[in-house]
Structure 1
Amino acid sequence: MSTKLSVAIHILSLLDIEAEQHLTSTQIAGSVKTNPVVIRRIMSQLKEAQLIESRIGKKANKLARAPEEITLLDVYLAVHQDELPFGIHQNTELNCVVGSQIQEALDNTYQQIQAELMASLNNVTLKDVTSQIKPV
């Protein structure tokens, strides 16, 4: 599974906890231990979803809303957009009892799991996450 959701939550958590620091994407990349390009790409998605505000060339990245108003569903939808959490393999053998029916069987199951996942993500806020991070 992709780590984009956890990286996006990491970014938002840093912007919340270190709000006075006016962190750049390079500084955030240092915390995540990844390339700043990866951070900028995810931050672009978060900005498009109106979860952060930033200006090119300025140390002005910040949350666009209060952390208690940002749900993990908001973050998930920002970074995964139309991607489903589970993919179903295609081009199965239609002359096989399983191959001919597996997509339909998994589709129903995956739809239920996705609905439960979305409901769970909607019940957790960024504030819920950052309240578990203790100062060092």
Structure 2
Amino acid sequence: MPHVLDVRFSSALTTLLFLAVAAEEGQAVMSSAQLAERLGTNPSLVRKLLSSLAKAGLVESVMGRTGGTKLARPPQDIPLAEVYLCAVGDKPLWTCRPEAEHACLVSTHAAGYFERLTERAEQAVLRTLGGQTLADALREIRCSGHSQPEPLK
């Protein structure tokens, strides 16, 4: 059985990065179809993602014929920890194996240990992401690229 990775956070972050670049380039909004094309997915999944981001106050919808979605705040005011929490909700970083019969030291205490380990890892993730903003992410992406990116269409 192949392992499926959770891409909600990376999808949310990438979506916000697309919107930030579009705003810099004078494109007021992007449609869900445009974002879906960029993300390589379908517009209905993007609309679901945008709904969560809107509820969290990270994006806002612009109605009308030329409507779409734009950032609700400047990139420097969007901490990555907020994006992460919006994307993953209360889903833990890892899930513990189902508990086995409590027959020995390991089977009796492994689940509790794993729960504490997961909590510490989650706090480390939030500390790391809390110290960075969407603007920081965009700056780092630009610095790591060797060629000039093409403008968004």
| TM-score after normalising by structure 2 | 0.81
Q: Quote how far apart the aligned CAs of 1:91 are.
A: 3.5
Does 2:113 match 1:105?
yes
| Equivalent residue in structure 2 for 1:123, among 114, 122, 131 | 131
CA contact (8 A) 2:99 2:111 kept: no
Matched residues in 1 for 2:100 and 2:64: separation? 50
> What's the secondary structure of 1:99's corresponding residue?
helix
Check 1:97–1:43 CA distance in 2 against 1; reply closer, same or farther (3 A cut): same
1:99–1:127 Cα change, 3 Å? same
Corresponding position of 1:4: 8
The residue type equivalent to 2:101 in the other structure is E
**Counterpart position of 2:44:** 37
Please list every run of 5 or more consecutive structure 1 residues that lacks an aligned counterpart in the other structure: none
In the TM superposition, residue 96 of structure 1 has moved relative to its aligned partner by: 4.3
Counterpart residue type for residue 24 of structure 1:
S
2:135 & 2:100 partners in 1: Cα distance?
Answer: 44
Q: How does 1:70-85 map to 2 (within 5 A)?
A: 70-85=78-93
Cα deviation, residue 110, structure 1? 1.4
TM-score relative to the length of structure 1: 0.90
Amino acid at match of 1:75: V
- Determine what percentage of the aligned residue pairs are the same residue: 29
Q: Does 1:87 align with 2:95?
A: yes
Superposition misfits of 4+ residues, deviation over 6 angstroms: none
